[in-house]
A and B are shown apart, each in its own frame.
Chain A
Amino acid sequence: MIEVEHLSKSFGDNHVLKDINFTFEPEKVNLIIGQSGSGKSVLTKCMVGLHQPDEGEVRFNGRAMDKISNQERTEVRKEIGMLFQASALFDSLTVQENVMFPLQMFTKMSKEEMLDRVNFCLKRVNLENVNHLYPSETSGGMQKRIGIARAIAMNPRYLFCDEPNSGLDPNTAIVIDNLIHEITHEFGMTSVVITHDMNSVMEIGENIIFLYNGQLWWKGSKEDILATDNPEINAFVYASKFMKSIKEVHKKGI
């Protein structure tokens, strides 16, 4: 469980986040949706501690990030796995070394144990025989999966994914979405997934917040999203003709 309370963040005169309050629930895929530039990435970065919030508090299972000691903070960090928007794999390391990296830095495992763990994680994201490739030699979809493998290497309790399926073809995007969904339930993680893709919202959204103008504009489940008549969220959800037509069908059906 991750609780966010009265979180505000601005860059100069740009008030990106205004008083966000929300609880990200355990063993669920929590989605943050919103237009490009609405502050989704900044919100997650404040949560994981890459940005210092101006006001407010983030608590990981009751542990407030700004009130605990440095050592405890490092412990919390080790429980966080994150998949970045552009994967952020270390391009001087091979796929295997990338996934092994957090293990080498933080555990006392032997080489064999580490290799086992790496192969387990890679297999879990359906990648095999790529251990000795460099990230630049793999496709975008593979890079996302390697990123997930690296994120889950330390067996995290919290998984953050920033637009895991941006820049992927629809099929691969669905594969990645489902993978995140499965892993979340399999390992009982609290997942926070940023997306602006309505497909993923309908596919994996269990607990959704909609950011608009830096405010938490709306929250609910994927069923609620079709029923709501909040104009901003409708403008976001039914931006495409295709989704509009679905809405018509949905209405007629009722």
Chain B
Amino acid sequence: MLLCRRIRAKMVLLSGLKKCRLLRLFHHIGEYFLMVIGVFSKPEKLRIYLQRTVVEIDKIGISSLGIVALMSLFMGAVIALQTASNIESPLIPSYTVGFTTRQSVILEFSPTIICLILAGKVGSNIASELGTMRISEQIDALDIMGINSRAYLIAPKILGSIFIFPFLIVISMFLGIFGGYLVCALTGIIAPPDFVEGILLDFRMFHVVYALIKTVLFAFIITSVSSYHGYHTRGGAIAVGRSSTMAVVYSSILILIVNYIVTQILLI
């Protein structure tokens, strides 16, 4: 806590120099990490935090099931179609379509693209919820009561999303591959048994693990960055809109950067 105070004092000094953009960026990064530290402090009443986490799991995860399912089915289908239509040489075996669909869905599409979609849906939702609570002084009301508002509001969101996102992404993987299979079965573009052969070819569990590691990181990025922007909203209704946009923009950019770094570390 003392360390936090000292860092904060330094940052107040820094914030005096707000005119410089780079310094302001550092200021935000510092504030962000302080917030994350503050979120994981000792809770007042564990039971209430658990209840809130369950509510958040429902709000963040279960309610996103529809859009995730829809996106995955269609994208899986399109990947299968495009791969099939691009293979002209008779030398390339037709199970390649199944193989390519599986690899694209598991490695990139489900963890990264679906998380980008969720950054839009969940991120803007979190930022506007917290932003509204901030400008209507509901967060002040919590602080007055002596409740750690960061921990109370943000921790359940982060924990809830880290718990539920992997399930969403695994569902998305199955549905994406199933979408590809459906296309084969319905259009006959390649024979379904060939597609299945491709799906099973050279399957590596590590790829799924890699995808789920990414998912957990992305879940953390989406909820913490959006919470940061929502919690630090200043002003009125327009500011809430701005926070919500910033939440989506910054979490998307961070997802892309972290995606690159993690891939470089784990797969190369």
- Does A240 lie at the interface of the complex (its beta carbon under 8 Å from any beta carbon of B)? no
Residues of B within 8 A of A70 (CB): 1
> How many residue pairs bridge A and B at CB < 8 Å?
48
- Does B185 lie at the interface of the complex (its beta carbon under 8 Å from any beta carbon of A)? no
Q: Is the CB of A48 within 8 A of B144?
A: yes
Residues of A within 8 A of B1 (CB): 70
Q: Is the CB of B146 within 8 A of A86?
A: no
The stretch from B120-128, B134-142, B189-197, B257-265 touching chain A is B134-142
Instruction: Please classify how large the interface on chain B is, using the bins under 10, 10 to 19, 20 to 34, 35 or more.
Output: 10 to 19
- Does B204 lie at the interface of the complex (its beta carbon under 8 Å from any beta carbon of A)? no
Q: A88-B137, A90-B138, A105-B48 are in contact. Are A74 and B144 (CB under 8 A)?
A: no
Q: Is the interface of B mostly helix, strand, loop or mixed?
A: loop
Q: A48-B144, A77-B144 are in contact. Are A104 and B138 (CB under 8 A)?
A: no
Measured CB to CB, the nearest residue on chain A to B8 is A52
Q: Mark A50-88, 1 if CB is under 8 A from B, else 0.
A: 100000000000000000001001100110101011101
Partner of B140 from A50, A78, A89 at Cβ < 8 Å: A50
Could you tell me which residues of chain A, from 110 to 142, have a CB within 8 Å of some CB in chain B? none
Distance, CA A78 to CA B1, complexed state (A): 21
Could you tell me which residues of chain B, from 10 to 62, have a CB within 8 Å of some CB in chain A? 16, 44-45, 48
Residues of A within 8 A of B144 (CB): 48-50, 77, 80, 82
Residues of A within 8 A of B141 (CB): 82, 84, 88, 90
Residues of A within 8 A of B146 (CB): 73-74, 77-78, 106
Q: List 26 A-B contacts (CB under 8 A).
A: A12-B16, A45-B140, A49-B143, A49-B144, A50-B143, A50-B144, A77-B144, A77-B146, A78-B145, A78-B146, A80-B144, A82-B144, A84-B137, A84-B140, A84-B141, A86-B136, A88-B137, A88-B138, A88-B140, A88-B141, A89-B138, A90-B138, A90-B141, A91-B138, A101-B145, A105-B44
Interface residues of A (CB under 8 A from B): 12, 45, 48-50, 70, 73-74, 77-78, 80, 82, 84-86, 88-91, 101-102, 104-106, 154
